Amino acid sequence: MISPFKTIGNAGLALIAICLTPKFGFSQIVKDTSFLKEVVVTSSKSPQSLGNVTQKIEVLSSTEIESTISANRNICDVMQNQPGVSVSALSRNDANWGTYGGIGPKYSTFMLQGLPIDAFIDPMTLDLSAISRIEVQRGPASVLYSNYLSQDFAGNQSPLAGTVNMILKDKFDKPLTRFITSFGSYNTLNGQFYHQDIAKSIHYYTGINYEMSDYTDYGTKDSWLNMQKNPEYRKTKIFGGATWFSDDEKQKFTLFANKTLHVGDAGRIYRGFDNNYGIINAGYTLNLNKNICLEAHTGYRSYDRTWQESHFNVIDSLSSDNGVVQHIIPVDVLLTLKHGKANVLTTGVDYQGADYYTYSDPLVGYDTYGNKSTAMQTGVYTQEELHFGKLIARGGVRINYTKNNIELINGGAPGQKSKDWNKVLYSGGLRYNATKNISIFANIGSSFVTPGLKSVGGTIQLDDTLHSGQLPSPNLKPEAGLGIDGGIDLALPYNLQLSLRGFNTTVTDAIIDNVVRQTPSQSQSVNAGKTTSAGGEAELKQKIYESLSWFANFTYMKTKISNEYDADQDGGTVPFSPEMVANAGISYTTPFGLKITPSLNYNDGFYDSSSKTGRKKFIPGMLLNAYVSQTIVKNNKSKVICFGQFYNITDNRYEMPWQFINTGFSVMGGLKVEF
């Protein structure tokens, strides 16, 4: 068997050889690429260059996003090649359960234009045509950005290990209309329409993305999924946005709406599902003068999922219709004050209100409620960034209040109807720009996460051994976290960019989902004592000239669970967190319009549970993808491109937790027309 590290090493040597080949000529290397200061980001809630932000930030452009292969139609796939990330999207119908910084999937939040969204659901619902770029912050971000009050899937989400901010399009230089059609494996047919235009001071866009497929069996042999036919899969995304600019551009109002309908079945007649998701974002920005800026943002998130359970031992028959409904309203109002040469004071208040309930119709003619609750969260925060020549110092504090009101747990009255928590959080950071090519940084931040209702009350009864879902765990305690990171960014000769980062994240009373039973799929949340994740990242990039670039990175993550109350948990590892992840890729565009973007991902494996006796290890190994496109027509008015998306080229059908499996090699080919 060929060592994966040898393969990656050979690929890296080949890339270096290409870079040093005389025919490319370093005289053609792109100049002035001091990545420490070249990109404006909004991670600090006000636009700043990377050199003025203490945290480690990665900005993914629309070009990079376009050439990423997303077999599971999940935005998390776009980040698969980034350091510190392990993506484990179970299928096109299921969420990503991967890890960020080794500490688990719920410790890195997702945001849309700075407002939180659900890290599990919304990456499956948003369309990337509305996104101008994605900013990935690695490291603690719990002062400026709040937790998300989701009760579904893994419950509340915290930016302890970082946050992902998707920035919407807002300003255009010309009208554009785009049609995309493609066809591929599993009889997958996709059609997309997008249009942007300008009407006086309003820049607007709209689009639709429709996909239908027979899909394929994504369960292991004899799994609880027990698929009897090809699963049906249909997903429709409808979105639109507009931005109004005042004549002096001191004011800006933005509005965005997205509706996603996801329907189909899990490979059996009585395992249908019908999911309806909605997102609204609205924002107002007022620049009072060149130093003072007032912003107000609000939104609405709607999650409505229904699914069927069935008996399938002898005769496949309907057992029950089930559903979960959740609504969340986030609000954020902030004031940014620039003072001195480059100092920035940010202060604000945010709020979230949420309601959540589950229901089931066990074929008795009426719905019965399972869990039902409301929750609210508010926070006041302030942060100061001070510049002392080459040194940047950042410090902030957040006072957070959270309250849960519980009406029902598993259809019965809760033991405690109301619970609230107060918490003071802090964050700090330093960056020293020693030269224009050398920068050293360090950050620290705390977080606090209350148990989600699903974790406490579950979605099925404690003694249920027939249905898939979450078992109750009513004695859960809140968890507290502390994140620390530090590193160095280097701009080396020949346009090489090297970044090294170390991190250590600690969570006490960590709430972790254990796989309790594989058949049917059942999990249960537990307080796993103290959980730590320590590791490091090394990232190397080079842009040789506009048409040729490459990257390689490696992440080591060592996780450990210490639990003096449970010997089976003590010494275990965080579920879904591998020790080693490596990525490499290249992007090359020929003079005649052919673009080739292959990428390689290696994952050395992870466990599905923190239990030392009941866990199972899964080893994804290597995943090779490639995006290929050829420009057929290109002029001032139009562009025609044919493309191919090749996923899992080596047909690596590795097993995943809960008896899911990677479906192997797939391909999509299509045509894109712009005018």
pLDDT in tens, 302-317: 999 999 988 766 567 8
Q: What is the pLDDT of residue 425?
A: 96
Please write the tens of the pLDDT for every residue from 255-305: 999 999 999 999 988 899 999 999 999 999 999 999 999 999 999 999 999
Give CA–CA dist 182/643, Å, rounded.
9
Q: What is the DSSP letter of 414?
A: -
455 three-state secondary structure: helix
User: Which pLDDT score, from 0 to 100, does residue 13 have?
Assistant: 40
Task: Please state, as a whole number, how many other Cβ atoms lie within 10 Å of the Cβ of residue 398.
Answer: 25
Percent of the residues in the chain that have a pLDDT greater than 90, as a whole number: 66
Most confident of 40-54, 93-107, 427-441: 427-441
Asked whether the beta carbons of 54 and 64 are under 8 A apart, the reply is: no
Per-residue model confidence (pLDDT) at position 413: 79
Residue 373 is inside which H or E element, if any?
strand 368-388
Residue in the block written with tokens 């490499």: 584
pLDDT-based confidence at residue 33 (cuts at 50, 70, 90): very low
User: What is the pLDDT confidence band of residue 19, given thresholds at 50, 70 and 90?
Assistant: very low
Percent of the chain with pLDDT over 70: 91
pTM: 0.88
Quickly count: other Cβ atoms within 10 Å of residue 34's Cβ: 16
Average pLDDT on 212-234 reads 92
Backbone angles phi, psi at 440, to 5 degrees: -115, 140
Q: What is the pLDDT of residues 616-632, one digit of tens each?
A: 999 999 999 999 999 99
**In this structure, which amino acid lies at residue 228?**
Q
Three-state secondary-structure class, residue 66:
helix
pLDDT at site 36: 44
Residue 474 pLDDT level (bands cut at 50, 70, 90): confident
Single-letter amino acid, residue 202? I
The pLDDT tens digits for 99-155 are: 988 888 888 999 999 999 999 999 999 999 999 999 999 988 889 999 999 988 778
pLDDT at 588: 96
Query: Where are the strands (E) in 113-229, listed by range?
Result: 115-117, 131-138, 162-168, 176-184, 188-199, 202-213
Q: Report d(CA 597, CA 585) in Å as an integer.
A: 7
How many helices (H) and strands (E) would you count in the chain? 3, 40
Q: What is the mean pLDDT of residues 215-221?
A: 93
In whole angstroms, what is the distance from residue 276 CA to residue 261 CA?
A: 5
- Assign 602 to helix, strand or coil: strand
pLDDT value of residue 50: 62
- Please say if the pLDDT value at position 43 is more than 60: no
pLDDT at 235: 98
Helix, strand, coil percentages for the chain (3-state, nearest 5): 10, 60, 35
- Structure-model confidence comparison of residues 416 and 529, the more confident one: 529
Q: Decide if pLDDT at 15 tops 50.
A: no
Determine the pLDDT at residue 457: 73
Q: Residue 72's pLDDT is what? A: 95
Query: Is the model more confident about 490 or about 53?
Result: 490
Q: Which pLDDT score is estimated for 327?
A: 97
The residue ranges of every structural domain in the chain are: 4-368+377-588+603-619
Residue type, 455: S
Average pLDDT over residues 485-508: 95
**Taking a C-beta distance cutoff of 8 angstroms, is the pair 279, 301 a contact?**
yes
The stretch 565-571 carries a mean pLDDT of: 82
Mean pLDDT, rounded, for 343-360:
94
Q: Closest Cα partner for 443 from 492, 390, 385?
A: 385
201/206 Cα distance (integer angstroms):
17
State yes or no: pLDDT of 97 exceeds 70. Answer: yes
Confidence of residue 94 (pLDDT cuts 50, 70, 90): very high
How much is the mean pLDDT over the chain?
A: 88
The distance of Cα 72 from the centroid of its chain, to the nearest Å, equals 13
Q: What is the DSSP secondary structure assignment for residue 396, as one 8-state letter?
A: E
CA-nearest of 75, 5, 102 to 584 is: 5
What pLDDT score was predicted for residue 368? Answer: 85
- The pairing of strands 469-471 and 522-527 is parallel
The confidence band for 7, taking pLDDT boundaries of 50, 70 and 90, is very low
State mean pLDDT over 422-429. Answer: 94
Q: H/E element holding 456? A: helix 453-457
The CATH architecture to which 4-368+377-588+603-619 belongs is Beta Barrel (2.40)
Exposed e or buried b for every residue in 380-389, given b needs 16+ CB within 10 A?
A: ebbbbbebee
Provide mean pLDDT across the span 570-592: 94
Q: How far apart, in whole angstroms, are the C-alpha atoms of residue 255 and residue 176?
A: 19
Identify residue 516 by its one-letter amino acid code: V
Residue range 357-400, pLDDT digits in tens:
999 886 666 678 888 999 999 999 999 999 999 999 999 999 99
pLDDT at 166: 94
Cβ proximity of 624 and 661 under 8 Å: no
CB 220 within 8 A of CB 618: no
pLDDT band for position 517 (50/70/90)? Answer: confident
Q: Is pLDDT at 537 greater than 60 in this prediction?
A: yes
